[in-house]
Amino acid sequence: MNMRAVVLQHGALSLADVSVPKPGAGEVLVRTLATGICGSDLHTVSHGEKLLASARAVAGIEIFDPAERIVLGHEICAEIVEYGPDCRKIHAIGTRVVSAPFIIRPTPVTLGFGTLETPGGLGQYMVLSEALLIPVPDHVSNDLATLAEPLAVAVHAVNRGAVAGDAVPIVIGCGPIGLAIIAVLKSRGIGPIVAADFSNARREMARTLGADVVVDPRETSPYDAWREVAAVSEPERIARQTPMFPGHAFRPCVVFECVGAPGMIQRILAGAPPCSKVVVVGLCMEEDRFQPTYAIMKEIDLAFCIAFSIEEFIEAFTQIASGKLDVRPLITSQIGLKDVPDAFTRLANPENDIKIIVHPQDA
């Protein structure tokens, strides 16, 4: 039995007929209903060799073989079709589910980076681990359910920032993850939130999702905008002080770097208030440099993050399902499989789309 899938090989995407995968022990075969295109998918296509080299150097692993055909896609909503051996069969056939993007095997598989035996969501069928399945309530659409994964990334980033209730956060870069971070911050009652992006469309989306102050950095410094809303007179609300910056009467600051371009860390260290925490979320694929003295003299905490825990994935999906996190505006287009290569090109322009959802059954 065959299915349609968008395959990646040697850095090029194409639509192909491939075999439907077979579920192993503790796994289920699912029919893919909706898949979001993630920024990491774009990086894999445009900077695949650099991504592989980084993973090899840092963790000693091979994420995938560029010579093999792989099927991307890890932001998914699917329907249970068939159980493999040794399953508990808790959920009925036909149940819609989401899953954290991993397959539990002796050598774990990251969904969207496996071979055709473990394809990602840009194929009509996938195998998933039964233990990681979360049923999707009837009132949650297929498209909305796919946002659990990017929202989990945002939940993890906010957790890494340890953002306290009185902090005034700055989000630099309003792509899908920056926007998701804004939504998570808003849902936790943290603010006012300052957001900055060059794109008019993304600035408008930042306002929609809860940013209180939105600036075009070509016209207004996000740090100047932060000072206008973060100044306080009550001593108990003033952030930690250092001898180098006496009288700095402002609330705490957490900066989220969501651009991932060379030079961004240095620009943030130069502009961020003293005693800020900087959380680097953007995936920069190039060598970068910054001057440590900026961070040292300001006593800035610098943190990096990637992905999320299973608990954070569950939290993100639960909040989407409950309506606490309303991120429906992120979805700007829906397409079929044949339009995926063009969508990767469209997403290079920030004015075109925020989040494109693929409906794999529309081949």
CA-to-CA separations, 29 to 20, 89, 129, 289, in angstroms, rounded: 9, 12, 9, 45
Supply 91's token pair.
């959920």
Domain extents in the chain: 2-147+327-359, 150-304
Q: What pLDDT, on a 0 to 100 scale, did the predictor assign at position 140?
A: 98
E strands of the chain, at which residues? Answer: 2-9, 12-19, 27-36, 75-83, 96-99, 102-103, 109-110, 125-129, 133-135, 168-172, 194-196, 213-215, 253-257, 277-280, 301-304, 331-336, 355-359
Q: Model pTM?
A: 0.95
Lowest mean pLDDT among 195-199, 218-222, 298-302, 351-355: 351-355
Q: What pLDDT, on a 0 to 100 scale, did the predictor assign at position 80?
A: 98
**Average pLDDT estimate for 206-216:** 98
pLDDT band at 199; cut points 50, 70, 90: very high
Greater model confidence, 118 or 286: 118
pLDDT band at 246; cut points 50, 70, 90: confident
Q: Are 33 and 359 in contact (CB under 8 A)?
A: yes
Statement: 150-304 belongs to CATH 2.60.40.420: no
Same fold, 2-147+327-359 and 150-304: no
pLDDT band at 47; cut points 50, 70, 90: confident
Arithmetic mean of pLDDT over the chain? 95
Lowest mean pLDDT among 179-183, 237-241, 255-259: 237-241
Greater model confidence, 152 or 40: 152
**Average pLDDT estimate for 199-222:** 97
Q: What pLDDT, on a 0 to 100 scale, did the predictor assign at position 128?
A: 98
Q: CA 304, CA 51: separation in Å to the nearest integer? A: 17
Q: CA 6, CA 118: separation in Å to the nearest integer? A: 14
pLDDT band at 62; cut points 50, 70, 90: confident
**Average pLDDT estimate for 130-156:** 98
The CATH topology of domain 2-147+327-359 is Quinone Oxidoreductase; Chain A, domain 1 (3.90.180)
Supply 274's token pair.
């003293």
Q: CA 31, CA 81: separation in Å to the nearest integer? A: 6
Q: CA 274, CA 158: separation in Å to the nearest integer? A: 20
Q: Is 21 left (phi over 0), alpha (psi -120 to 50) or beta?
A: beta
Q: What pLDDT, on a 0 to 100 scale, did the predictor assign at position 66?
A: 86
- Whether residue 49 is predicted with pLDDT greater than 90 in this model: the reply is no
Lowest mean pLDDT among 60-69, 248-257, 261-270, 309-318: 60-69
What pairing do the DSSP bridges indicate for beta strands 213-215 and 194-196?
parallel
pLDDT band at 276; cut points 50, 70, 90: very high
Q: CA 23, CA 87: separation in Å to the nearest integer? A: 10
Spatial CA neighbour of 122 closest among 317, 344, 353: 344
**Tokens 């473990």 belong to residue:** 118
pLDDT band at 157; cut points 50, 70, 90: very high
- Whether residue 171 is predicted with pLDDT greater than 80 in this model: the reply is yes
Q: Are 173 and 259 in contact (CB under 8 A)?
A: yes
pLDDT band at 90; cut points 50, 70, 90: very high
Q: What pLDDT, on a 0 to 100 scale, did the predictor assign at position 96?
A: 98
pLDDT band at 51; cut points 50, 70, 90: confident
Q: What pLDDT, on a 0 to 100 scale, did the predictor assign at position 353?
A: 92
pLDDT band at 265; cut points 50, 70, 90: very high
Q: CA 347, CA 336: separation in Å to the nearest integer? A: 15
